[in-house]
Amino acid sequence: MQKMDYPSQTNEKDIRAPKEPDSRSRAWIELDKDALAHNVAFLRSRLPEHCRLMPAVKAEAYGHGAVLISRQLNRLGVDSFCVACASEGIELREAGIQGEILILGYTAPEDFPLLRDFRLTQTVIDYPYARELNDFGQTIHVHIGVDTGMHRVGIRCERTEEIAAVYRMQNLAVDGIFTHLCASDSSHPDHRSFTRNQILAFYRMADLLQEQGCPCHGKHILASYGILNLLPDSSRQRKTPVSPMGNPDGQESERLAADYVRPGIVLYGVLGSQTDLDMWKDSLRPVLSLKAKVASVRPLYAGEPVGYGITYTAERDMEIAAVTIGYGDGLPRELSGGRGSVLIHGRRAPIVGRICMDQTIVDVSSIPHVQAGDTAVVIGSSGALEITAGQIAEQCGTITHEILTGLAPRLNRIWS
């Protein structure tokens, strides 16, 4: 017999075994391409002709998977993106993402060469930072952040001399200038007037600079809630619910939308809360579903406890199932003890006991024929029932953004 040149432990079975587990074999995220395209079309329908989408794909595109989502957005004609940091921008470039990638946050000076090498655009987060960027000595593309009231980052809007000085810096190519609204999700009259003042302050600054010969092109202001609440709905001619500028006519809406908008959460077909989403659910389609497998079904007899800490004891004979997802996947532990549930065969299975790191136990007593290998829907639809990320957020006392961005890297992300 011929001598084999691979290690003797390797047998034929190993060679034929798949290299990786099936992406739907434990816990996974399914992404709906049509829903993403629908949301992009809906957002475009609200924008003036020349205004470009610059979606926020930071934090793994709100947990969806930054590369998958950005590639698809490229195919849909989107050519500008916002990320939080240089490493997120590099990941997109290495995956072949085309167009402008704006880093919204801080990049340390030791990483400035990466901005150049990966053609990333950096936000000027304050004036001293602009000088540091300029001192790097090679051309860096920037958008100037302007602080109109959020007081997080950006040059204060009244400091027009500093902003003008950034335009004059030799090594900075200023491609844009923007501000961020901090209460555009609110219909409270005080918040509406705060928002209005932020927008007016931004344009006062831009007009002053323009008078001084600064071009101020590439302006942007609005994120998700700004697009929904401040722009008129051209398709339905509906008066905007939270118009800060009175009833914006075409001109005001052009000014508000400016040259780009930066939608994040709305692009994924959800909003900060379920209550907000209920107002817009006819226009938006959630992109993400979260699913896992039933690993084991077993009886739990009256008087027996389940899970860590003996927090739950059966009052009657039950049937329970272990599901292959836990807080290590981003399923919030606050959903323990019956607060949350999953859907199996189109029915609701309440979570019993404490959610574990990798597994969760659910009550399947009222669902016939549950068996190992069945799919459990954690976010998404099953039959006539649906669990939304917004509902989970409300159950946990947080916003949808936090639930989605908490979805762990070990979840497989696939198009459905």
Indicate which residues carry an active-site annotation: 58, 308
Distance CA 322, CA 60 (A): 28
Least Å from the CB of residue 6 to ligand PLP: 50
Least Å from the CB of residue 102 to ligand PLP: 9
Nearer to ligand PLP, 58 or 141 (CB): 58
Q: Please report which residue ranges of 46-95 form alpha helices under DSSP H.
A: 58-62, 66-75, 86-94
Least Å from the CB of residue 89 to ligand PLP: 14
Nearer to ligand PLP, 229 or 365 (CB): 229
Are 333 and 308 in contact, with CB atoms under 8 Å apart? no
What SS3 class is residue 323?
Answer: strand
Are 89 and 109 in contact, with CB atoms under 8 Å apart? no
Least Å from the CB of residue 265 to ligand PLP: 4
Nearer to ligand PLP, 154 or 353 (CB): 154
**Residue 310 neighbours by CB distance under 10 Å:** 11
Least Å from the CB of residue 39 to ligand PLP: 12
Nearer to ligand PLP, 81 or 203 (CB): 81
3-class DSSP string for 375-413: EEEEEEEECCEEECHHHHHHHCCCCHHHHHHCCCCCCEE
Question: Which DSSP string corresponds to 159-194?
Answer: -HHHHHHHHH-TTEEEEEEEE--SSTT---HHHHHH
Are 133 and 112 in contact, with CB atoms under 8 Å apart? yes
Least Å from the CB of residue 148 to ligand PLP: 12
What SS3 class is residue 65?
Answer: coil
Residue nearest ligand PLP by beta-carbon distance? 264
Residues 6+ apart with CB under 8 A from 411: 27, 28, 29, 290, 329, 330
Sort strands 305-306 and 375-382 into parallel, antiparallel or unpaired.
unpaired
Query: Which of 267, 219, 226 shows the shortest CA–CA distance to 243?
Result: 226
Are 357 and 326 in contact, with CB atoms under 8 Å apart? yes
Are 31 and 415 in contact, with CB atoms under 8 Å apart? yes
Least Å from the CB of residue 263 to ligand PLP: 5
Applying CB under 6 A, the residues found at the interface with ligand PLP are 56, 58, 104, 180, 223-224, 262-266
Nearer to ligand PLP, 219 or 262 (CB): 262
Distance CA 217, CA 281 (A): 34
Spell out where 236-359 has E strands: 260-261, 288-300, 305-306, 312-313, 318-323, 341-344, 347-350
Instruction: Return phi, psi of residue 306, to 5°.
Output: -140, 135
Least Å from the CB of residue 401 to ligand PLP: 6
